[in-house]
Amino acid sequence: MLTMQGTIEKAALLETGTDMLVESIVAGKGEISSEEVEAATTRARGTVNMAMGMLGLKTPEGEIEAYSKTRSILGTVQQLFSDGDWFVGFLVMLFSVIVPVMKMTLLLVGDKAAAVGRAVSKWAMADVFVVAIFVAYLAGNASEDVGGLLNLKASLEWGFYCFLGYCLFSVASAQLTARRP
């Protein structure tokens, strides 16, 4: 349904690491005046930059993949069960898989089953689940622009579109069967 990927720019990682190393070197000097802190920082940064240059780390390019996770409904349910969250896993399975499949089957069978399908539809959480996934997608892409060390990117997988199609079909069929005499 949803894939979240996080990458770190090698140059940003190197800069952050350099800053941390320089700060730890200067902090090891103990209590010193602000002028001595500035001079120690300049010397430490020069030494660290020289060492990185000798190691070929002066101008790294590209990204490092720091996080990648693809989630589906069934994968999430399986993870919940394996983590011991049986009740939550059962509820997600019931409202996101069992009830929608049962409702779709009843709507496809015919008019008598449609009445049962309408009664069951009150218990379906499919549309809410689609919105929740889409919000997670938007949140993942919004954090891409925050300018931090980790860049997150979300992408919707084909399962999301299948699930969205089901929700639209479900709502449309419920509307059409409700209008019949």
C-alpha closest to that of 169 among 91, 123, 95, 117: 117
Q: Rounded to whole angstroms, how far apart are CA atoms 155 and 136?
A: 10
- Report helix angle 111-121 to 99-109, nearest 10: 160
- Measured in whole angstroms, how far is the alpha carbon of residue 160 from the centre of its chain? 14
Share of the chain above pLDDT 90, in %: 0
pLDDT of residue 179: 64
DSSP line for 32-78: --HHHHHHHHHHHHHHHHHHHHHTT-SS--SEEEEEEEEE-HHHHHH
pLDDT of residue 139: 64
Which residues is 5 bridged to in the sheet?
68, 153
pLDDT over 80 (residue 37):
yes
Q: pLDDT digits over 140-163, tens only?
A: 665 555 556 777 777 878 887 887
pLDDT over 70 (residue 120):
no
pLDDT of residue 158: 84
pLDDT of residue 163: 77
Q: Please tell me whether the overall predicted TM-score, pTM, comes out greater than 0.85 for this model.
A: no
- Measured in whole angstroms, how far is the alpha carbon of residue 162 from the centre of its chain? 19
C-alpha closest to that of 63 among 154, 156, 149: 149
125 pLDDT band, cuts 50/70/90, is low
